Structure 1
Amino acid sequence: MPRRPSKAARPPRVPSYCHHRASGQAYVKVRGKVTYLGVYGSEASRTAYAAAVADVLVGREIVASKPSAAATPHVVTVGEVCDRFIAYAKGYYVKAGKVTHEAGMVATACGHAKALFGEQPAEKFGPLALKSVRDRIVAAGLARSTTNQQINRIRRAFRWAAGEELIPACVPAALVMVPGLRAGRTTARETAPVLPVADAVIAATLPKLPSVVADMVRLQRLTGMRPGEVCDLRPCDLDRSGEVWNYRPESHKTQHHGRERVVFIGPKAQGVLLKYLARGATTHCFRPCDSEAKRRAELHAARTTPMSCGNRPGTNKRETPRFQPGLRYSVCSYRQAITRACEAAKVTHWRPNQLRHTAATEVRAKFGLEASQVVLGHATARTSEIYAEKNLAAGAAVALAIG
């Protein structure tokens, strides 16, 4: 059995970069001797630490020192907590390689806290300060539900800071004591509930839509999928082996919860979708460039001026246009197309998410709440109740029968 090498023959151990909480300074400890390096986390302390490690590796003696009386511990401010959490959110709230909308909402919420208390110590940020931030958000005109969401994001920032040992854990614990705003007991404005859009309104809107967007509306109405799921649909995401096709989006709303999303596409929806599948497997089915090409083709077909007496197709186009049709619809561009069609049809404006409510209400009336939950892809039936309106006609029938 080989002999254990003597202490002199062993390689030197690299000392750790430590934090002296009483003074707020960094230090290293070598053979029982403590050397202070400066304010913990500063560039100067990191440089001094690197020099100390180099001295240990070459065997030079490190002179022990005491914490400087002039050094003051670093005070974490509310602005620093907000800035650090915003940077963290940009790396955390990422889906399919893109920063999600949540990161922007975090930055907006933290911006309100920074505007009022940015220079104050974070450990002094308590319930009264959080209420002041809430009043600022309400004064900005945000709805009650949005205000509560923004306050929860600020709480989340301070919980994260406590987990990183930037502030004491008692700070986020105290912020929990601030209750959310309740309906009818606050000056914050209330938003109208999202209701289903009537099929008659949809039918009046369809002729005013580009043909590609009209098919997106038809597909969403038949399947109850989310607007983003319609925009993200690709042939490679479809399983067409069965009588009912299964669409598994590459990315979806509850993906970070570890849940699977399956959209069931029946015969009617298959008829709408079939003509968009003759393309590359990873190419989006619904594309603005295709919609623009169809619009131009329709205009050319309706042309009455002889070809010899006017512009030929393509001759009046700019070589470098400012805006070009994209390769996929976004939820925003999809919604804008519907809004323009509503104005042209002179009907009440509606949004694509209302199609999901319409489909959910129909499924609930015909097959029950549990079936609506499966179609919508919700984890609980309680969430599905928000989308599927109750059948009030059934209640009226009961009242006529027994009332």
Structure 2
Amino acid sequence: MPRFTQKLPKYRKHRASGQAVVTLNGVDHYLGRHGTKASRLQYDRLVAEWLASGRAVAPSSAPSHAALTIVELSALYWRFAQSYYRKDGRSTRVTPGIKAALRYLKDWYGREPAAEFGPVRLKALRARMVQDGHSRRYVNDHVARIKRMFKWGAGEELIPESTYRALALVEGLKKGRTEARETAPVLPIDDAAVTATLPSMPEVVADMVRLQRLTGMRPAEVCLLRPCDLDRTGDVWLYRPASHKTEHHDRARVVFLGQRSQAIVLRYLARDPAAYCFSPSDSEAKRRAAAHAARVTPTAYGNRPGTNRKRRPRRSAGDCYSTASYRRAIHRACDKAKVPRWSPNRLRHAAATEIRAKFGLEAAQVILGHAGADVTQVYAERDLAKGAEVARRVG
């Protein structure tokens, strides 16, 4: 197998001409007389430009504005997006949307010059998305992703700046002024539906649901809860997630846990401080233990515990729930309880609605973590006091 390396291309001597040379993406670049300071500076400049482009395009061999096709621009942007839109070592949910938008773009205009893609073609592509039955918000998001790619291309000097400026003039679809369908708003989940679903959930998932309903956490914040992230010095515990949605905006996130929330979390703290509190492997172990306790066949007969398991299963329970696995667990419980499916985001909406009705809009913003990044230290302290007071009264 080939050995991959991250080393820089070498500064070499071309024996026939006596010049220095460097090879970038299979293209030789001659730098002047070998060993001179000028050739070294030329080498440094070319390699720096090549690295700045993500090792994708050699500087002097980059396609001209007229020659670069949309397929080529999309390939370069996709390579950039995969490395840029990452969090905690994994791709974010942004990348699937980018891939879907680029698929639309390449299907119709893939072989066309990227510099010639203008507002009329973008509107035609948008109309196709509407005809395919996509919602107004979905279409606007895709159009924004396509504009963002052309903005990146202009910033990398791959296409003229005027191409992006022209596309930026295309406004998004307006509600009531387009044939694109509208999506239903995310409404708070009725507590009666939650109560009816809880008995059908695994114990761990049920506790996650109860905790999220009390605190208004995001689903990802519930999944990532660890003992080391909890400050238990006061009567109201403070949970500061190690990773959260708005951290790239330099915003702090604090979740307040009152007495009822603490009672739920307390059962999951007897573990390694860096281990996740709500673990699928723990949930699976509890399910197997419950099944074994309900066993009717004597252990001397039939399969003994553990003998009918695969040695190398294709899938096994992990150490941490993802937002997707958390949502699927809730959906399975809804199907089992014969309740219309609901998703964990609706728990956050329900908590926000209740807190706003009882304590006002500012309190809801504090609890949900919607404060701006430029607040002063005094305002932050007032927010903490208000959040603690809400947690004491709500539980």
Query: What TM-score, normalized to structure 2?
Result: 0.79
Q: Does 1:143 align with 2:135?
A: yes
Match of 1:208 among 195, 200, 211: 200
Unaligned runs of 5+ in 2: 1-18, 40-62, 373-395
User: Residues 36-77 of structure 1: CA distance to partner in whole angstroms, max 9, x if unpaired?
Assistant: x9xxx8743xx1325x35275699xxxxxxxxxxxx956222
Residue aligned with 1:307, SS: coil
Q: Pick from 252, 259, 266 the counterpart of residue 251 of structure 2.
A: 259
Q: Counterparts of 1:210 and 1:359 in 2: how far apart (Å)?
A: 22
Shift in Å, 1:144: 0.9
Where does residue 355 of structure 1 map in the other structure? 347
CA deviations on 1:309-343 (whole Å, 9 max, x unpaired) are: 33222122222223211111111111111111111
Q: How does 1:251-400 map to 2 (within 5 A)?
A: 251-379=243-371
The structural deviation recorded for 1:184 is: 2.3
SS of 2:233's equivalent in the other structure is: coil
| CA distance 1:58–1:209, shift in 2 (3 Å) | closer
Give 3-state SS (helix, strand or coil) of 1:49's partner.
Answer: strand
Secondary structure of 1:148 counterpart: helix
How far apart, in 2, do the equivalents of 1:135 and 1:375 lie?
Answer: 41
- Report the Cα distance in structure 1 between the residues aligned to 2:227 and 2:346, rounded to whole angstroms: 25
Gaps of 5+ in 1: 1-34, 60-71, 381-403
The aligned runs of 1:4-403 (5 Å cut-off) are 43-44=26-27, 47-50=28-31, 52-54=32-34, 56=36, 75-379=67-371
Report the secondary structure of 2:238's partner residue: strand
**Bigger mean CA offset, 116-125 vs 269-278:** 116-125
CA distance in 2, matches of 1:174, 1:268: 55
User: Structure 2: how far apart are the matches of 1:337 and 1:203?
Assistant: 15
2:34 maps to a residue whose letter is A
Structure 2 Cα separation of the partners of residues 55 and 263 of structure 1 = 61
Residues 53 and 90 of structure 1, relative CA distance in 2, 3 Å threshold: farther
Code of the residue aligned with 2:315 in structure 1: it is F
* Structure of greater Rg: 1
Q: Following TM superposition, by how much is the alpha carbon of 1:379 offset from its aligned partner in structure 2, in angstroms? A: 3.4
What SS is found at the alignment partner of 1:319? coil
Distance 1:58 1:164, change over 3 A: closer
CA distance in 2, matches of 1:208, 1:298: 14
What is the rounded CA distance, in whole Å, between the counterparts of 1:87 and 1:290 in structure 2? 38
Q: Distance in 2 between matches of 1:209 and 1:230?
A: 16
Between the two proteins, the alignment pairs up a number of residues equal to 328
Quote the offset at 1:104 in angstroms. Answer: 2.4
Q: Aligned with 1:309: secondary structure?
A: coil
> Could you say what secondary structure the match of 2:296 adopts?
coil
One-letter amino acid of the structure 2 residue matched with residue 254 of structure 1? T
Q: What's the secondary structure of 2:256's corresponding residue?
A: strand
Counterpart secondary structure, 2:126: helix
**1:242 alignment partner, SS class:** coil
Indicate the larger mover: 183-192 or 243-252. Answer: 183-192
Instruction: State the match for 2:44 in structure 1.
Output: none
Over the matched positions of the two proteins, sequence identity in percent amounts to 54
| TM-score, with structure 1 as normaliser | 0.77
Moved more, 243-252 or 77-86: 77-86
Tell me the amino acid that sits aligned with residue 254 of structure 2.
V
Separation (CA, whole Å) in 2 of partners of 1:222 and 1:58? 67
Q: 1:53 to 1:105 in 2, by over 3 A?
A: farther
1:23-44 alpha-carbon deviations (Å, 9 max, x no partner): xxxxxxxxxxxx9x9xxx8743
Q: Match of 1:95, as an amino acid?
A: K
**Equivalent-residue separation in structure 2 for 1:53 and 1:137 (angstroms):** 56
**Displacement, 1:103?**
2.1
- Kindly report the root-mean-square deviation, in angstroms, between the aligned alpha carbons of the 2 structures: 2.2
